[in-house]
Structure 1
């Protein structure tokens, strides 16, 4: 079945649709022939409806905290979804160290409430075969790798931070609702996302902003931690394929194969900024090593062969070009992130214990 035919007249409920990944989901869905998109979002500090300005006529918004079980139940009755895409999550590791309770409430209790509402709705509707519940998770639930090897779908869970522990718990709840109730769920786990519109506490936008302003570029520890990076547009295209072509009850790792040290990412940012501003001093001189994050994982890397074999997906963006395009976007959209810095996030370093 073609993508156009699959998505035709579908009603979609997207949690966290005003967030970085969630908004890209809404933007990509808006180009498909869906019937309705309903966004559930708590509208926390990391949400921003400006991410959806280009598609503002293509969705409806309900301000809902997933911790509010009755509000979640009401949202299902209003949205009448064929597909639920669960992107909402507290996701910043430093914030989870500083305030873990929010992560427990949002990621664990919120996911439970969503599953409970989804099961009630699905059962009430006669358990339609086309219903899907996509749960978007992270590679951090697997813990840390050494210099060699990859995570795959059989890797044991070994979370090391309050954030990853809360996401691991949500994964287990989703799998339990499949095994116990046969709710048609699919789980995906992915690496570090990057791209335009990412909240400026994350590595790439934070470093661009600091470099432009001549501030230190703080790297945890020795900066040699390895992450697998994927452009948000590639990740979301994979998520939609997981819904179209994935099997219910399955977990799929979505990976680009683009492993980079934090140091090399920051150096790439500095190189691009120097190309744009050759008259300024070397931006890499601003790199500063700071006290390492507690429980900092050394390396993540994903074996995505199961997902690629199932769907035929492959990323369109190389990290090198994607990073250039992303740096350029933040340079050209300083008004957006400077307003956030003024109102929501003052570049304070979180997570010191």
Structure 2
């Protein structure tokens, strides 16, 4: 099997690439990545000898088409995206360009060159805020995004499904919950908390920290995506979640305790993010019917993640910027 991974040098993409290389001998992997601030060759350092790589923007139709013609993938997996909500609040334009227009280009290339299977990595944030709503979002739940980021992902999600209906493009859409683990840029909550504590700064909690998320260790997500590719159905959407619900405050407090610090002293509350969603929740029976189950519980996953960042300062030190060190990252834009 030949798998082309768009955005394969980012956090989730690189973990999926690493999973494929270590799990399968007969899989050929080609990574196509623009190498923005969050996509780095350092994320693939241990597998570069086992993959092919091209630096490119998914909006560069000519280059992407050349790669697809040359590699002739059996599967195109699109991780490529701008993903950080705070950055989308400060500067939404790159999110529209990459997540919407870029995805459109990948669909056009896949359609024209008849790529056998297109897999789009969406997000649970497309369902919007479920605070005050009973139950959880199934795959047929209406999309109701809240931020420029989630709106751009919802638009791309719908484009993918439209290409399936209009052109017959074989697709599968995957909507994961909050992923965390090694190689995640320290602008995101879990590594940001770890890195700030390692740098002697307090952890920050937005507002009262009661925002509830479902937390999935990234290696478990890689296994789920593999199951969708190998055993999933065409023209289907798959929610991927762990059922490990915890508030932002609870996650930050757990990290502080794992690192031997005092939650009463080493956590500060800052102004809440504009338009903050209070609760995400999904049902995930469809992906579990494929035989997948998460293996790593939240506490174990956080312990693994803390240890990885402790041992890999070489990886995160160059990434320290205003989003990591600022108490209110959405206020740190231009």
Structure 2 length normalisation: TM-score?
0.95
What is the 5 A alignment of 1:272-311?
A: 272-274=258-260, 282-309=262-289, 311=290
Q: What is the DSSP-based 3-state SS (H/G/I as helix, E as strand, rest coil) of the residue aligned with 1:314?
A: coil
Partner of 1:144: 129
Contact 1:214 1:286 in 2 (8 A): no
Separation of aligned partners in 2, 1:154 and 1:71? 35
Cα distance, 1:151 vs structure 2: 0.9
Q: What is the DSSP-based 3-state SS (H/G/I as helix, E as strand, rest coil) of the residue aligned with 2:118?
A: strand
Partner of 1:331: 310
Cα distance, 1:35 vs structure 2: 4.6
What is the 5 A alignment of 1:156-195?
A: 156-195=142-181
Separation of aligned partners in 2, 1:26 and 1:214? 33
Contact 2:129 2:278 in 1 (8 A): yes
Cα distance, 1:216 vs structure 2: 2.4
CA offsets per residue over residues 210-245 of structure 1, 9 Å max, x none?
A: 112221222111100000000000001100110111
CA offsets per residue over residues 29-63 of structure 1, 9 Å max, x none?
A: 11313352111100000012122122111111111
Q: What is the DSSP-based 3-state SS (H/G/I as helix, E as strand, rest coil) of the residue aligned with 1:252?
A: strand
Aligned residues: 329
Partner of 1:96: 88
Cα distance, 1:346 vs structure 2: 5.5
Separation of aligned partners in 2, 1:42 and 1:332? 27
CA RMSD of aligned residues (A): 1.6
**1:114 is aligned to 2:106:** yes
What is the 5 A alignment of 1:1-353?
A: 10-31=1-22, 32-122=24-114, 131-146=116-131, 148-274=134-260, 282-309=262-289, 311-341=290-320, 347-348=325-326, 349-352=328-331
Instruction: Say if 1:65 and 1:322 are closer, same or farther in 2 by CA, change over 3 A.
Output: same
Instruction: Say if 1:104 and 1:218 are closer, same or farther in 2 by CA, change over 3 A.
Output: same
Q: Which has the larger radius of gyration?
A: 1
Q: What is the DSSP-based 3-state SS (H/G/I as helix, E as strand, rest coil) of the residue aligned with 1:30?
A: helix
Partner of 1:277: none
Partner of 1:5: none
Separation of aligned partners in 2, 1:345 and 1:220? 14
Separation of aligned partners in 1, 2:189 and 2:182? 13
CA offsets per residue over residues 163-204 of structure 1, 9 Å max, x none?
A: 000000000000001101111100010111011111111101
Partner of 1:7: none
Contact 2:186 2:324 in 1 (8 A): no
Contact 1:138 1:188 in 2 (8 A): yes
Cα distance, 1:282 vs structure 2: 2.0
CA offsets per residue over residues 91-131 of structure 1, 9 Å max, x none?
A: 00000111101000100011000000001111xxxx7xxx2
Q: What is the DSSP-based 3-state SS (H/G/I as helix, E as strand, rest coil) of the residue aligned with 2:46?
A: helix
